[in-house]
Amino acid sequence: MAVAASAHAGEVQIAVAANFTAPAQQIAAEFERASGHKARLAFGATGRFYAQIKNGAPFEVFLSADEATPARLVAEGEAVAASRFTYAIGALALWSARADGVDAGGDILKRGHFKHLAIANPKTAPYGAAAIETLNRLKLLDAVRPKLVQGENIAQTQQFVSTGNADLGFVALSQVFRDGRLTSGSAWIAPDDLHTPLRQDAVMLMKGKDNAAAAAFMAYLKTPRARAIIGAFGYTNLDH
């Protein structure tokens, strides 16, 4: 059995939105044990991955931080239309590495008692765009604009805060949350009505349409085990 499985084992190249780093790593490890296939993950900003895919990058599966980018890739003939589905809906969190850095209502934004507020690049990172949208809805963008520092992606944005280079920042809840609680610091979760829903879609790219390992990974994302991992990191309302 093991020999037969290894003989048919393949490899899949997966582009993963940075906010999904930790769950993707866990899902990939369990997928490899269950299937024998190898999942090679690359992490970064959704907009940058779009540009790389258009320029011929060898990715076969794309786990985006939004739904618009996979839909655009489908429309442009770069991805398989029938493969696209929402694998997670994320939450935006205002986070500080300090336990007393962010109050439960996020009122620190109004008080302005901070030097730097980190956000991801809103042009390439959907969570950065959601942060700008949230600040706009709160009518605070003009007030905090001089204090904004920008990460290339949401992973770098969290790093700014965790290292103390920014007092607080808008990150993905999944980066600071595990199994029902914050893993460190303090946070305020931005209410859903303050920004466009962070529906994250997966799609099979044309380079992966004939790859059995790519098809197997897309199927594994829908399994109860993968969904349990995704839910443990604070994502909600997954499609069936």
CATH code of the domain in which 97 resides: 3.40.190.10
**DSSP type of residue 79:** B
Helical residues (DSSP H) of 81-220, grouped into ranges: 108-111, 126-137, 141-144, 154-162, 212-220
| 188 and 210 share one domain | no
Which tens digit of pLDDT belongs to each residue from 156-209?
A: 999 999 999 999 999 999 999 999 999 999 999 999 999 999 999 999 999 999
Asked whether the predicted pLDDT for residue 239 surpasses 60, the reply is no
| 127 and 221 share one domain | no
pLDDT value, residue 236: 84
CB of 40 closer than 8 Å to CB of 14? yes
| 128 and 52 share one domain | no
| 97 and 119 share one domain | yes
Asked whether the predicted pLDDT for residue 220 surpasses 60, the reply is yes
Domain region containing 211: 2-89+197-232
| 127 and 157 share one domain | yes
Q: Which helix (H) or strand (E) segment is 81 a member of?
A: none
pLDDT value, residue 238: 57
Number of domains present in the structure of the chain: 2
Residue 9 lies in a domain: yes
Alpha-carbon span 237 to 86, nearest angstrom: 9
Residue 240 lies in a domain: no
**pLDDT band (50, 70, 90) for residue 3:** very low
pLDDT value, residue 8: 67
Residue 216 lies in a domain: yes
pLDDT value, residue 116: 98
| 170 and 116 share one domain | yes
Asked whether the predicted pLDDT for residue 112 surpasses 60, the reply is yes
pTM of the predicted protein model = 0.91
CB of 154 closer than 8 Å to CB of 44? no
Closest CA to 85 of 51, 62, 59: 62
Mean pLDDT of the 111-134 span: 96
Residue 134 lies in a domain: yes
| 187 and 212 share one domain | no
- How far apart, in Å, do the first and last CA atoms of the chain sit? 31
Mean pLDDT of the 73-83 span: 98
